[in-house]
Amino acid sequence: MTIAFFPFVGFALSQVATPGPANMAMLATGARFGFRRALPFMFGVVLGKQIIIWPIGFGLLNYAAKLPWLFFALKYICAAYIVWLAWRVANMRLKTDGDSQQAPGFLAGLWVHPLNPKAWAMIVTAFTAYVAPQAPTFTATLQISLTLFGIQLVCHPIWTFFGDRIAKTIMGTPFERYLMWTLAGLTVGFVAFATVTGEM
């Protein structure tokens, strides 16, 4: 194998399945608009990780040493965007019957991972820790890409569906406001942790 497959799968599961900005966004979208209406957003999130994987696989990180200020700036710009999304989540209220507000679509989901410091840190770790020395670039990148794609197709619908179930349980109760602020707080906490500890 070009990559250490089973160790990488364990690592990827620990990252994709656990809370983070992307999962919080899908949970909140599922809660606000329901599972079906959240699907385009969810598929955008799934495919958005490919926007990170392929450029990193083909040497994007080589530019980090040449333009460190650019990568430093991008890291905090991305973090600021995720915090803004968290603010929107905090002020959302869960769906109501006949809600006509438009759910975020495929393009909105597509940019969640490229603007997510946790996703960048995860992909960098994948290439630096699990790819065999002298491995063919295309083969290694394809294996990482397909593995993550499969794991996301399993984990992301669970988070989206979980949000839908939560909404049906607490919608219209005093817990609704607390839930949305909790999701927003968790999102900010995870992105702050990834920004401080992760490498971009």
Show pLDDT as tens, one digit a residue, over the chain (200 residues). 688 888 889 888 888 887 777 888 888 888 888 899 999 999 999 999 999 999 988 886 566 557 677 666 766 776 676 677 667 667 665 554 545 578 889 999 998 888 887 788 788 888 878 888 788 889 989 999 999 999 999 999 999 998 888 777 877 677 777 777 776 777 677 667 656 655 44
Six-digit token string for 153: 């197709």
What is the pTM for the complete model shown? 0.72
Handedness of CA 183, 187, 193, 194 (dihedral sign): positive
Angle (CA) 146 53 30, round 5°:
75
Residues 148, 95: Cα–Cα separation, whole Å? 31
Sign of the torsion formed by the C-alpha atoms of 135, 14, 21 and 105: positive
For 16-56, how does the pLDDT look when each residue is reduced to its tens digit (9 = 90+)?
887 777 888 888 888 888 899 999 999 999 999 999 999 98
Question: Cα(188)–Cα(194) distance, rounded to whole angstroms?
Answer: 10
- Contact between 45 and 151 under an 8 Å Cβ cutoff? The reply is no
> Could you tell me the two tokens for 74?
């991008």
